Amino acid sequence: MTNPLIIALDFPNWETTDRFLVQFPTDESLFVKVGMELFYQEGPQLIKTLKARGYRIFLDLKLYDIPNTVQSAMTVIGQLGVDYTTIHAAGGQAMLKAGAAGLKKGAALGNVRPAKLLAITQLTSTSEAQMQTEQLVNVSLPESVAHYAQLAQASDCDGVGCSAEEEPTIREHTNADFLCVTPGIRPATSQTNDQKRAVTPHEAAQAESSAIVVGRPITQATNPYQAYQAIKSEWESFK
């Protein structure tokens, strides 16, 4: 699946998740994101259940700890056979490299294909003013994101999670095959909620995002499959 639309399964438990997923045709090739809330509630068995249904999986746990701990955790994640997973670029090169090494080790132990490792640059809920006053980062937000992207590429990561607003800058500073996966996607008619740097599917396509992640505009829609198809159509028609 090239340039996928990934649905963020931001639900509290498997029962709620299953009620959502059964609204989609069984032959629809879904790519889904499992975040902290759902994974911490259901654990690795959830990943096995989703894989058994044929879904591709983005496990978004945003690891951030000392290198040894991150490497050990990524070794566990690597055995699950997910397609994407995440780590915080702010943890630094030693942590990023340890995470990448752990992921590859886990894949070998589990006899599965290694997941793509995405580094989180600046969350799409963070504004430049917040970054500068709360993180004491004195450069502009695009400069911070580009720096983290370069650090991630030099540290064996496959790409970054970023807003499409910064993607042109990232592309200038990384290789052509470096992934830019874009959360914070909101159709023009949707509320931005807590997202500060939201973009439309059209804007993400114009920025040449590698994939987009959509949550509430689909999961909270009256007809989730219809909302999914509309966003997917807009996303794919401009690529």
Active site residues: 62
How far is Cα 178 from Cα 156, in angstroms, rounded to an integer? 11
Residue 91 CB contacts under 8 Å (≥ 6 apart), including other chains: 63, 64, 65, 70
100 with 75: CB under 8 angstroms? no
C-alpha radius of gyration, the chain, whole number: 17
Q: Which helix (H) or strand (E) holds 182?
A: strand 179-182
Contacts 24+ apart (CB under 8 A), 187-194: 187/217, 187/230, 187/231, 187/234, 190/216, 190/217, 194/125
Quick one: CA dihedral 54, 28, 209, 204, positive or negative?
A: negative
Q: First vs last Cα of the chain: how many Å apart?
A: 14
Alpha carbon of residue 60 to chain centroid: 6
Query: Rounded to an integer, what distance in angstroms lies between the CA atom of residue 73 and that of residue 49?
Result: 21
- Contact present, 9 and 217 (Cβ < 8 Å): no
| Cα–Cα distance measured from residue 162 to residue 145, given in angstroms and rounded to the nearest whole number | 8
